[in-house]
């Protein structure tokens, strides 16, 4: 008998993941795998477990923050200083397809679970590591959090208003994108293993991931020699493609190319702006962006955002109000997609967001409830499974 596979539906339901992660980047990676069907067994320290269990809001020890990124997983508490608990982890690794960890480089070696050693013992294992700076390079041993890698990568230098200070992206994008790239690396390595029978080491650095998200900014700097700066919400290469103030709030409007620009100015009743030499070509509009934005906003101030969004939307131009989180939560589009799920642990429940991947147009299950594990909730069951396997 072997450790049972996942009872969750999904394309990864044949995978068992040993999850030695905590905080955000690693747990987000394993959450993606769990949402796609994998059985994820989270290893926690006895006593407190993952420190994110105590990040508010919610119940200390099982906070909403912890639950939102650890739902759908199992928890077993193991003290890796104790031989009996190390034996349990050894058995789990022997049964697993994937091991994922996000300690600082060197910690797994000190624990006796260095990648080379573990993979030599289990050649088919995919061993994934997420860290601030990766497993190589002069900075490999330095600590890093999301804010540090946003600063080092150049991300903060391009985020914010032109006349304001460098600004952190308003979510922990450094952690989240590292988790995303790690999940991609794991799935790629598993796919290769189906052909070769051999596992891979996956090495993901938060800093690398942030630089990869700079999109055109890195390219433009090396092509033009210019230093990309902060431009607020507008597109650095296309205009009008920005936020615009109306009489009662803000809207975003996105035009690309002459045809869409002409459609915009015709829809809002300013067709003369299409013939003005200052705005007649994409380059001219970009060079005269401040004047064009001021011209448009003077016109938009004459009515509210619903008025303008109706006219612009009917012209086929991408546009939107700027929603608050509360307004977004009422979106009929997101509800129709089944993006929100109920998350529970004991008597505590709240709304969470599922992994935004629908495979083969799977319909979300109405009223589905996701459960987050209490510390060591599944420990006895997992130990019993392993005992049956050994027997």
Query: Using an 8 Å Cβ cutoff, are 96 and 17 in contact?
Result: yes
Residue 266: partners with Cβ closer than 8 Å, 6 or more residues away: 274, 315
Tell me the C-alpha distance between 47 and 109, whole Å.
Answer: 23
Tell me the C-alpha distance between 42 and 27, whole Å.
Answer: 9
Tell me the C-alpha distance between 253 and 230, whole Å.
Answer: 19
Number of helical H runs and strand E runs in the chain: 16, 14
Local structure of 391: helix, strand or coil: coil
From 122, 217, 222, 235, active-site residue: 235
Beta partners for residue 351, in sequence order: 342
Residues in the chain, total? 391
| CA nearest to 202, candidates 191, 218, 211 | 191
Whether 122 sits among the annotated catalytic residues: the reply is: no
Residue 275: CB atoms within 10 A of its CB come to 10
> Dihedral through CA 66, CA 81, CA 199, CA 15, nearest 10?
-40
Query: Using an 8 Å Cβ cutoff, are 355 and 180 in contact?
Result: no
- Active-site residue set: 235
């Amino acid at each position: 008998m072997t450790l049972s596979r996942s009872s969750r539906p999904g394309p990864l339901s044949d995978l068992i993941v040993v999850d030695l992660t905590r905080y955000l980047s690693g747990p987000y990676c394993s959450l993606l795998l769990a949402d796609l069907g994998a059985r994820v067994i989270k290893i926690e320290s006895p006593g407190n477990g993952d420190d994110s269990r105590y990040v508010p809001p919610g119940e200390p020890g099982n906070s909403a923050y912890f639950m939102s990124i650890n739902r759908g997983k199992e928890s077993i508490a193991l003290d890796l200083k104790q031989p009996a608990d190390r034996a349990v982890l050894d058995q789990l690794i022997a049964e697993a397809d994937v091991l994922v960890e996000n300690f600082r480089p060197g910690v797994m070696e000190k624990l006796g679970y260095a990648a080379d050693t573990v993979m030599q013992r289990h050649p088919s294992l995919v061993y994934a590591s997420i860290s601030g700076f990766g497993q190589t390079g002069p900075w490999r041993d330095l600590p890093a959090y999301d804010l540090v890698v946003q600063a080092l990568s150049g991300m903060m230098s391009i985020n914010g208003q032109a006349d304001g200070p460098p600004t952190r992206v308003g979510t922990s994008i450094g952690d989240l994108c590292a988790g995303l790239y790690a999940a991609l690396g794991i799935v790629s390595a598993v796919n290769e293993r189906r052909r070769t029978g051999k596992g891979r080491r996956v090495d993901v650095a938060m800093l690398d991931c942030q630089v990869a998200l700079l999109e055109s900014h890195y390219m433009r700097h090396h092509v033009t020699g210019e230093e990309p700066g902060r431009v607020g919400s507008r597109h650095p290469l296309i205009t009008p493609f920005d936020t615009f103030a109306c009489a009662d709030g803000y809207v975003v409007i996105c035009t690309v190319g002459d045809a869409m620009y002409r459609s915009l100015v015709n829809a809002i009743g300013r067709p003369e702006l299409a013939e003005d030499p200052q705005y007649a070509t994409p380059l001219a509009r970009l060079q005269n962006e401040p004047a064009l934005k001021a011209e448009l906003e003077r016109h938009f101030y004459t009515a509210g955002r619903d008025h303008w969004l109706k006219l612009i939307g009917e012209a086929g131009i991408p546009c939107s109000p700027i929603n608050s989180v509360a307004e977004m939560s009422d979106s009929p589009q997101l509800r129709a997609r089944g993006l929100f799920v109920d998350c529970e642990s004991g008597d505590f429940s709240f709304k969470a967001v599922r992994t935004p991947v629908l495979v083969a147009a799977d319909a979300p299950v109405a009223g589905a409830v996701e459960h987050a594990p209490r510390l060591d909730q599944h420990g006895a069951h997992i130990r019993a499974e392993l005992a049956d396997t050994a027997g």
